[in-house]
Amino acid sequence: MSIKKSPWVSFFNAGGCNGCTLEVLACTNPRYDVSRFGIEIKASAKHADVLVVTGIVNKQNKSRLLNIYEQLAEPKRVVAIGACALTGGIYKDSHAHAGPVDKIIPVTVFVPGCPPRPESIIKGILEALK
Amino acid sequence: MIEFVLAFAFIIISIFFAGIFRKFIARMHNRVGPPIIQPFYDLIKLFSKKTTKYKNPIFHAVPYASIITSIVIIILISSAFVGTDSLFDFDYNFLVLGYLFILVDTFYIFGAVASRSPFAIQSSMRELLLMLGYELSFMMVLSIFFAKTGIVSLADFDVEFAFVQAPVASILLVLIGFVIVRITPFDVVNAETELSAGFFAEYYGKDLALLEIAEFIKDLAFGLMAGLLLFGKVFALPAALGFVFFYALMQATSPRYCTFRTAKIFLIIAILAFIDLFLLV
């Protein structure tokens, strides 16, 4: 109950074109305003309840993603955003691709799209809290 | 006894003020913003989170030490409203108040160093640098108010609109508030975009909740104290709300100065406060 009223989100861009990152940031602007749901983007992963991951996970960022995931306090939730995070997208056959996010850390909700719209990202985060 | 009841009411009000501050900022951004009771939801959530023990005992002692100090600050402020019957009414208690404000920040530095987080350590280095300027001027500004009015304790401070008598000190007090309440352009200590969460980068769960409450109480205590000194007892709480609005406006509209520029500005503030105090003597 308490987590639904105050989900704090930490955000990690694991690689890719930055399109999904911009859509995640668009969620905080006056048009979408996630703060009305109590959602706050926190700089420190230790404060977060939900980890939002965007982009392909490249080989260099794999250990960093695992490190950040371990810093989250229990109970942890992960939302993978965008085609690259789900399957690898257009970078699927790249030599740097370390695998989709769910092969590295457990994922609660997948949000497809290239990039997904801010509405779907907000819905995805709220779905992860159920 | 009344001051304890009043202090408890102020603690609840301080959490509401934090919600009002967020709402003001959101409205200035043309956003709807979180509900005013959002800080309560945040605190309930943080208390319900699992916290694992870290090996350093100082790290876990700091949240308790800082919240106890903040509660003592708010009790001292409450004693000013109770009057001379108060248990905490003693001569020169405003100097104790100044020291307690410094003590809370000192505890944060202990916690930051104990956490060994590079962000938190950077934050404490900045705090130590700024302390040279703002803590000294804070004590001098408090002394100017009490010296100009000839009053020696908070409870006896019944002067209304004292800012007319001490205009320079009033402006300096509002400027010092930017650092104490951590508002742009002088919030280099808790600069979120650069330093993650500053002192609190490694804290989570119950420890973070206690630190957040300590911050809320400290912010309201500063607002009440500034309201009391500038406008008098009757207008202290409305003035504190006014300060919330003013600081929210500054937070929403101003950029952040770099650390050395902030340090230079506060060195100038310290010199001005010294000159103002020297002219009194």
Q: Which residues of B touch A74 (CB under 8 A)?
A: 49-50
Instruction: With a cut of 70, say whether residue A49 has pLDDT above it.
Output: yes
Q: Choose among B30, B38, B50: nearest Cβ to A38.
A: B38
Q: Domains in chain B: how many in total? A: 1
Number of domains chain A is built from: 1
| Nearest-by-CA chain B residue for A38 | B34
The interface predicted TM-score of the complex, written ipTM, equals 0.87
User: What pLDDT, on a 0 to 100 scale, did the predictor assign at position A1?
Assistant: 59
Low-confidence ranges of chain B (pLDDT < 70): 84
List all residues of chain B from 236 to 275 with a beta carbon under 8 Å from chain A.
none
A35: chain B residues, CB-CB within 8 Å? 22, 26, 31-34
Return the HEC string of chain B. Answer: CHHHHHHHHHHHHHHHHHHHHHHHHHHHCCCCCCCCCHHHHHHHHHHHCCCCCCCCHHHHHHHHHHHHHHHHHHHHHHHHHHCCCCCCCCCCHHHHHHHHHHHHHHHHHHHHHHHCCHHHHHHHHHHHHHHHHHHHHHHHHHHHHHHHHCCCCCCCCCCCCHHHCCHHHHHHHHHHHHHHCCCCCCCHHHCHHHHCCHHHCCCCHHHHHHHHHHHHHHHHHHHHHHHHHHHCCCCHHHHHHHHHHHHHHHHHHCCCCCHHHHHHHHHHHHHHHHHHHHHHC
pLDDT at A88: 82
Q: Which of residues 2-31 of A touch B (CB under 8 A)?
A: 2-3, 5-6, 8, 30
pLDDT confidence of residue B4: 83
CB contact under 8 A, A47 and B204: yes
CA distance A45 to chain B (A): 9
Residues of A in contact with B38 (CB under 8 A): 5-6, 38
Q: What is the domain range of residue A100?
A: 2-128
Residues of chain A neighbouring B206 (CB-CB closer than 8 A): none
CA distance A37 to chain B (A): 7
Using a CB-CB cut-off of 8 Å, the residues of chain A touching B25 are: none
**Res. A97: pLDDT tops 90:** no
Report pLDDT for A80: 92
CATH number at residue A34: 3.40.50.12280
Q: Which domain holds residue B61?
A: 2-280
CB contact under 8 Å between B200 and A44, yes or no, is yes
Give the mean pLDDT of A14-29.
88
Residue in B closest to A39 by C-alpha: B34
Interchain CB contact of B38 with A (< 8 Å): yes
